[in-house]
Amino acid sequence: MKEYQLGEFEEIVLLTVGVLYDEAYGVALKNEIEDRGKRRVSIGALQSTLRRLEKKGFLDSKLGEPDKERGGKPKRFFKITAYGKKALIHSKDVRLGLWDSIPEIALDLKME
């Protein structure tokens, strides 16, 4: 189902939006992805991905209240849509199906 296919970073961003739920905005998403994934994330790459996921219908966003700490600028909060949930379920099913299909011997390697 090509309509539900996600790139790796898109999947991570969608999952992180779910993890943060009501607090899913740019900086919080960046920090959570970096903390959990032990990887650096540029805010530009994250913002591009958020906009792309929103354009595809996987995310919705809304502006919060103006924030004094941000010079009166409001935060943009993201939520997963029903379509985004379907995409995540599809991705999870594909990955679990692959994991379940690996013969035990294929992963019976000695780590040095």
Q: Where are the domains of the chain?
A: 2-101
Tokens 């935060």 belong to 75
Contact of 26 with 46, CB cutoff 8 Å? yes
pLDDT tens for each residue of 26-65: 999 999 999 999 999 999 999 999 999 999 999 999 999 8
pTM of the predicted structure, to 2 decimals: 0.87
pLDDT digits (tens, 9 = 90+) for 60-70: 999 998 877 77
Single-letter amino acid, residue 75: K
Q: Which two tokens stand for residue 46?
A: 């994250």
CA distance 12 to 104: 27
CATH topology classification for 2-101 = Arc Repressor Mutant, subunit A (1.10.10)
Residue 1 confidence (pLDDT): 53
Is residue 74 scored above 60 in pLDDT? yes
CA–CA distance from 10 to each of 14, 55, 57, 86 (Å)?
Answer: 6, 12, 13, 14
Pairing of strands 74-80, 59-66: antiparallel
